[in-house]
Amino acid sequence: MLIGGQGGDGTLTVSDLLGRYFRLKGLYVYTSRNVLSRIRGGHADASIRAAREPIAAMKSQVDLIVAFDSEAVDVGRPELAPDGTILYDSSVFRSDLPNAIGFPFATLAGGQLGAPIYKNTAAYGAISVMLGFDPALTRQVIESRFRRRSPEALEKNLKALEIGRKAAIDAGMEARGNVVDGEARDQVLTTGNQMVALGFVVGGGRFFAGYPITPATEIMEYLMRYLPPFHGVVRQAEDELAAINMVIGAAYAGARAMTSTSGPGLSLMTEGIGHAGTAELPIVVADCARVGPSTGEPTRHEQSDLSHLANLGHGEYPRFVLAPGTADDCFYLTIDALNLADKWRVPVLLLLDQALSQNTVTMSPVDLAQVRLDRGKLLSTEEFAKLEAYKYYQFAPDGISPHVPPGTPGAFAQVTGNEHDEWGHVSVNPVNRVKMMHKRMDKMVQARGDLPPPRLYGADQGRVGLIGFGSTWGPIREAQAQLDRRGIPTKFYQARTLYPVPTDTLRPFLDSVDVAYIIEHNFTGQFARLIREALPDHHAKLRSLVKFDGHSFRSPEIVARVTEG
């Protein structure tokens, strides 16, 4: 379903109410928003999908359009199913389309309740009649949503619900469809950003500094709620330069520290991330990618930061780029990122995309039994006391120097972004330079076995490979099912480590297929280019499928590309 109107119309409210109803019915839910970068006004719409199976993508067809402005019809119509319906507010505009049904929601709500804003709940009421909702459950949804707001809000919304229901019943619209029951009773509704924030806390993250930026801001907002009871600190900095450097200072002091940002902020943070790379300070940066470059399209979806992350900054330093594909993956990979940064003393970059960051999705609650913390070579005071010498950059076969936080009696640590010797003193000695470069850069090879493995899906006998990362997980999984039905079994490699390119798992995967489609949201096929560079022998098998219009893939686009060959 697509619900559209002017910003401030409350289209998200309708989507939220429907989502609550579907969840009470035991269904899996996925929602997305299509908003402009402004607070009020302008067209905005929300999409919601419910299913009996887990979902992480929108369908290619819309069954119902709820239009509070005529633009919602324009936006939704190209995707409207042949038997789809348009429900619109006839107090705002008129539609002569054969499948359009108009009710004057704003006038009805304004006339009887004194404020047209209740049109949202009235529309929900009409939908509940059309789709044969259970009246008691329908009411329960309103109560759960508005009970905590105020008694007046609850009362008016309950009245609005009846206004909408009556209008639909009077028009003879009852039970044009029905909503089946599902089994998804244990699910929670969340977003990738919320799961990054939760993973950060559970992973021992205690210091966060950031700067507001779409679509990353919710991570900071959740942490402002989550962290204070744990002696955690969240600061909104004056800019991204300050944010990343506060994180670096906190990491030096011994805290697990993170920032989150999007493209423009990432550009500013690049300086600091390189500093952490050479100073060997463990930081995590979550990049919630949006359309770039420059300000790009702040609210729209893209995966075009990957090349930047892989090559981030001037000079050379180790970094790991991880990419969760689903909301639960955001939780677990954030913890992995904290562990990897701490253990290997490198910056770890967590790449999300707008759809993964902000779209809401049902998932099973996270499981603490799966969580492990690894603090690497952090020494206890007793272990430290047994050392002969404490060198912050001591050479070691694995490149990792033992360390204690500043404040430990007898321990002095000097860190610098200049090239340095084992003591942390600035050095331009060429022999030292070569050894230090190996100390840092070899971590990219040494850490291989530690980096998050891919998730593989599909038939062993499939000779068609699909490779993707981030939120393409949803449409790719659905495309697999559709291709299966057409007799084309496929294998899906969901990459969770993007850089260093996971050749150890990609090579056997590519060996096992005749052709592999690398599916990503950017113009140049950034992941495809990285794979081609790392595995040139497999060049002939690789096909790129890219999309960069600001919107997520729909599964038929993937099916079409694969069947075209």
Partner 1 sequence: MVQSVKPIPSTWCPGCGDFGVLAAVKKAAAEVGVPAHEQVLVGGIGCSGGIHNFIEINGIHALHGRLLAQAIGVKLANPRLTVIAAGGDGDGYAIGMGHFMHAFKKNASILYVVMNNETYGLTKGQASPTSQIGFEGNIEHPFDAILTALSIPVPNFIARTFSGDPKGMTQVLAEAIRFNRANRGFAFVEDLSPCVTYNDTFKLWREKIVDVSKLPGYDASDRKAVFRLCLETMESGRIPVGVMHRPKAADPEAVALELKLLPDQEGPAVTDIALEHNRAAYDRLIKGVT
Region 254-273 residues binding partner 1, contact defined as CB under 8 A: 254-257, 271-272
Region 116-175 residues binding partner 1, contact defined as CB under 8 A: none
Q: Is 407 in the site for partner 1 (CB under 8 A)?
A: yes
11 in Cβ contact with 36 (< 8 Å): no
Q: How far is the CB of 430 from partner 1 (least distance, A)?
A: 19
170 or 238: whose CB is closer to partner 1? 238
Tokens 């609550």, located at residue: 20
Q: Does 325 bind partner 1 (CB under 8 A)?
A: no
For position 390 contacting partner 1 by CB under 8 A, the verdict is yes
| Residues 353-372, interacting with partner 1 (CB under 8 A) | 365-366, 368, 371-372
One residue of 156, 206, 443, 554 binding partner 1 per CB under 8 A: 206
Q: Are 209 and 259 in contact (CB under 8 A)?
A: yes
- Please name the residues in contact with 132: beta carbons below 8 A apart, sequence gap of 6 or more: 174, 175, 176, 177, 178, 179
CA atoms within 13 A of residue 281's CA, in its CB half-sphere: 30
CB nearer partner 1, residue 385 or residue 459: 385
Q: Which is nearer to partner 1, 271 or 297 (CB)?
A: 271
Q: Does 207 bind partner 1 (CB under 8 A)?
A: yes
Give the range of 75-83, 285-293, 380-388, 516-524 binding partner 1 by CB under 8 A.
380-388
The amino acid present at 417, given as its one-letter code, is G
Residue 45 parent element (H or E): strand 43-51
Taking CB under 8 A as the criterion, the residue among 267, 408, 505, 524 binding partner 1 is 408
Burial category of 430 from C-beta neighbours within 10 Å (exposed 0-12, middle 13-18, buried 19 and up): exposed
Q: How far separated are the first and last CA of the chain, in Å rounded?
A: 32
Residue from 17, 75, 189, 288 in contact with partner 1 (CB under 8 A): 189
Between 11-24 and 135-146, two packed helices, what is the crossing angle to 10 degrees? 120
Shortest gap between Cβ of 171 and partner 1 (angstroms)? 35
| CA atoms of 328 and 6, how far apart (whole Å) | 33
Q: Which stretch binds partner 1 (CB under 8 A): 390-398, 446-454, 473-481, 557-565?
A: 390-398
Q: Give the count of beta carbons closer than 10 Å to the beta carbon of residue 298.
A: 18
Cα 306–chain centre separation? 15
- Does 426 interact with partner 1 (rule: CB under 8 A)? yes
The residue within the footprint of partner 1, chosen from 100, 137, 188, 515 (CB under 8 A), is: 188
CB-wise, 230 or 523, nearer to partner 1?
A: 230
How many residues bind to partner 1 according to rule CB under 8 A?
Answer: 75
Collapse the DSSP code of 361 into the 3-class scheme (helix H, G, I; strand E, B; otherwise coil) and give the result. Answer: strand
Structure tokens that stand for 503 in this block = 């050749």
428 is an interface residue for partner 1 by CB under 8 A = no
